[in-house]
Structure 1
Amino acid sequence: MGAAPVARDPGAQPERTRLAWRRTTLAFALVVVLAGRTLITEGDGGPAAVVGVAGAAVAWVGFLALAHRRMRALTGRRPAAAGGTVLAAAGVVLAVAALLALTLSAG
């Protein structure tokens, strides 16, 4: 009567997680580009805007390194927990948001 249990593919979850990290990295890159465009076009385009865009770009590179580290950890036989990497990535995102908000309010 009940459906037979479906065998779980142990490789599917790490693959989905890798794809999610890639999508997140691309979305973060788009946010940095659009925020930079906003700072340059709507702001005065002065030094504060340049510092804001440069800081966001450097932070994105740090986020990219964290994501790459996590994706490499998923290739092992038994993927390790992501706790520290996820918290660090969230910290980078919050730092960029704060930096861009301060830069926009200063300009």
Structure 2
Amino acid sequence: MTAVPERDPGLQPERTRLAWRRTTLAYTVAAVLAARQVAGGDLSAAGLVAVALSALVWLGFLWVAHRRVRELGVRPRPRALSAGAALAAVACTVALAGFAVAMVV
């Protein structure tokens, strides 16, 4: 039986970690724009609820992203993203888009 050589991950974990950071930055910009919309003071009650929910969804995405960035920085060959974390990231992104529509309308 031949030994399987250990895979050299190269820069792939670093690129993935940077992608998570860019996505988190873009998500934060969207949350700040939502807060700026509130500062304008021309939102309905539903819009205010949408902004509050956007802040909660932003915190949820930040938590998922932080855990993933930390995992990518610890090991040379990080574990795969769990299905739950992937689902949470997608749900947060879709929810933020929905809340953005509610704020505009």
TM-score by length of 2: 0.74
TM-score by length of 1: 0.73
Question: Structure 2: how far apart are the matches of 1:58 and 1:66?
Answer: 13
Counterpart among 52, 63, 87 of residue 54 in structure 1: 52
TM-align CA RMSD:
2.3
Shift, 1:67, TM fit: 0.4
**Equivalent residue, structure 1, for 2:77:** 78
Bigger relative contact order, structure 1 or 2, given CA contacts below 8 A and separation 6+?
2
Gaps spanning 5+ residues in structure 2: where?
1-6
1:58-69 matches, cutoff 5 A? 58-69=56-67
1:92-107 matches, cutoff 5 A? 92-105=92-105
Question: Structure 1: how far apart are the matches of 2:10 and 2:51?
Answer: 38
**Alignment size in residue pairs:** 97
Question: Structure 1: how far apart are the matches of 2:68 and 2:101?
Answer: 28
Question: Structure 2: how far apart are the matches of 1:54 and 1:35?
Answer: 9
Shift, 1:87, TM fit: 2.9
Question: Structure 2: how far apart are the matches of 1:21 and 1:78?
Answer: 17
- Partner amino acid, structure 1, of 2:12: Q
Say if 1:39 and 1:104, in contact at 8 Å, map to a contact too.
no
**Equivalent residue, structure 1, for 2:87:** 87
